[in-house]
Amino acid sequence: MAKKISFSQILLVLFFIGSSTFSSFAQLDFDVACRTAQPFCSDAAQELTFPNITGEDISFQGLGCLDSTRNSSWYFLRIDEPGELIFDIQQWIDINDNSNLDRGEQQLDVDFIAWGPFTTSFINCEDQLTQGCDLNGDGENIRPAECVNNVDDPDFYVQNLDNTNIVDCSFARNPDEGIFTETFTIPDAQTGEYYFILITNFSDEAGVIQLQQTNLDEDNAGTTDCTILEPGVGPDIATCGEFPVTIEGRFPGAITYQWRTWALGADSSSAVNIGGLTDTPVLDVNTPGVYELIGFSDTGGSVEVGRDDLSVVDVSVIEIAVTGNVAEESFSGSYTITAEITTTPIDIQALGFTDFEYRLDRDIGNGFQEYREYQSSPVFTDVPPGDYRVLARYRNCPVSERESEIIMILGYPKYFTPNGDGFHDTWSLINIENQPTALIYIFDRYGKLLKQLRPGGAGWDGTYNGRNMPSSDYWFRVEFNEPTDPNMRRRVVAGSFSLIR
């Protein structure tokens, strides 16, 4: 695994790129411009700012809703958690270099256009970035003139009325009135998708650009993947049988690359090369395994500048064994069930694949039904006595779902109503039928023995010597073997319940 550089080093690298690579944009055309796009992210932990572009002669006239794209900066995002993402885009002269828009600092006019989704950040701009809109959806006569400014119609791109891969486009019409913030929306992003953003600096004044996600705390909000700021190949991938999977990577200073692979659970000594040297570090993966990328600063592949690997696991074919453990002893009233899983033929949890989710089903008399919906925690608290089973699956992979054996928790009803309506007409212990040696006694409030019950029998109907007993509190005493104890030790438990007529 390649050594990760620090956050401050990342910023230095990006600032260097911003001051050197972008200055050569005047020699570029649209076909290759977005290949210089830099990774960007915005999350609760870090909101990054980047230098804007000045002195750029090239301008892509008529690009989406934008009439001019002077001083264009290119960025790409990768999606982590799926959902909606809403960003504010601002540009200003950062006088004190603290990456915050402070009082008195001059804001700059900023416009943008965004495209997506893509499976990789290595794309051909001319072929893959649509330059106009298609209002009738016929795929012909795609023109910038048909593109709408989202200031005029905020739903135009959200509802895909442009019928292209333009995700959003906006320009503040009157910056003289103090309108400097643009809003960028990705309505339904999915994990692993890439999006490209072009941001302009029409005023041609040096400053910084910031994309700040504003809906992080809202329901169904997606997130960006900040690991793309680090050199290497990014996070491991779990796929639910969906191949090919596109992976990519990059290292500062690398101009050629070599991919290698070996089996999951093995070590790199068994690695084999995938093809030869390449200048585009993108790979379509068709089988599970470990995939390593090595970067070289020369065309011959002799001067290594970095290496990193990731694992690709097909969770749809992984066998999951689920067990459920009850924390409390029987007759505690409420219980905690904790699920444990093991996976075969390899332990994918040991490889770092831990995004499992768990559901609790309960037998309500006519079969098991969902009692607690899927959750990320394997712990279910405040569970009443009864029959349960735990279901587990890898997140977003329903075909990987497996269930535990039945978990039988001993307990007793707090009341019964022997009125002949077919509901709660008798009283008996819950799940005692599998303990034939259990002894169950019922007493009145004065300690008089009213009934001895047989485990698994019909229960008490609320009578004594043929007479209905009155509404009151009654007591029980049970001697049984504790099922949560590996040695099934003998225990005695007493408690009370109510007879209600």
- Integer Cα distance of 35 and 42 in angstroms: 21
In a domain, 346, yes or no: yes
In a domain, 327, yes or no: yes
For residue 103, give every residue at least 6 positions away whose Cβ sits within 8 Å of its Cβ, in sequence order, or none.
Answer: none
Is 1 part of a structural domain of the chain? no
Q: What is the CATH number of the domain that holds 489?
A: 2.60.40
Q: Which residues of the chain have pLDDT under 70?
A: 1-32, 44-47, 57-61, 173-178
- Chosen domain end from 171, 201, 229: 229
Considering the domain architecture, whether residues 355 and 405 belong to the same structural domain is answered as yes
The CATH code of the domain that includes 369 is 2.60.40.10
- Inside any domain, residue 2: no
- The rounded distance, in Å, linking the Cα atoms of 385 and 407 is 10
Domain C-terminal end among 267, 295, 315: 315
Check which CATH number belongs to the domain holding 37 and give it: 2.60.120.380
What is residue 462's predicted lDDT score, i.e. its pLDDT? Answer: 97
The total number of structural domains in the chain stands at 4
Closest to 222 (Cα-Cα) out of 358, 122, 78, 357:
78
Q: Are residues 171 and 218 in the same domain?
A: yes
Asked if residue 201 is part of any domain, the answer here is yes
Domain end call among 186, 211, 229: 229
The answer to whether the CB of 68 falls within 8 A of the CB of 202 is yes
Same domain, 73 and 196: yes
> In 3D, which of 427, 391, 392, 431 has the Cα closest to residue 411?
431
Three-class SS of residue 398?
A: helix
In this prediction the pTM is 0.77
Which domain does 326 fall in, by range? 318-409
Same domain as 129, residue 89: yes
Query: How many C-beta neighbours within 10 Å does residue 15 have?
Result: 13
Asked whether residue 83 is assigned to any structural domain, the reply reads yes
The contacts found for 273-279 with CB under 8 angstroms, 24 or more apart, are 277/301, 279/255
One domain for residues 177 and 90: yes
Rounded Cα gap, residues 145 and 62, in angstroms: 8
Cβ-contact 234, 249 below 8 angstroms: yes
- Which residues, 6+ apart, have CB-to-CB distance to 227 below 8 Å? 234, 235
Residues 291, 279 within the same domain: yes
- Based on the domain organization, do 364 and 494 belong to the same domain? no
Q: Are residues 116 and 21 in the same domain?
A: yes
Predicted pLDDT at 58: 63
Query: Domain for residue 289, yes or no?
Result: yes
DSSP letters for 344-376: ESS-TTTTT---EEEEEEEE-SSSEEEEEEEES
Q: Would you state the pLDDT for residue 36?
A: 79
Q: Which two three-digit tokens encode residue 177?
A: 């009135």
Give Cα 18 distance to the centre of its chain: 31
pLDDT confidence of residue 14: 37
Query: Which pLDDT value is given to residue 364?
Result: 86
Same structural domain for residues 360 and 285? no
Q: What is the pLDDT of residues 52-96, one digit of tens each?
A: 989 876 666 689 999 888 888 899 999 999 999 999 999 999 999
Asked whether residue 309 falls in the same domain as residue 325, the answer is no
What is the separation of C-alpha 376 from the centre of its chain, rounded to a whole number of angstroms? 11
- Buried b / exposed e over 470-483, threshold 16 CB at 10 Å, is eeeebbbebebebb
Domain assignment present for residue 343? The answer is: yes
Q: Looking at the structure, do residues 446 and 397 belong to the same domain, yes or no?
A: no
In a shared domain, residues 63 and 197: yes
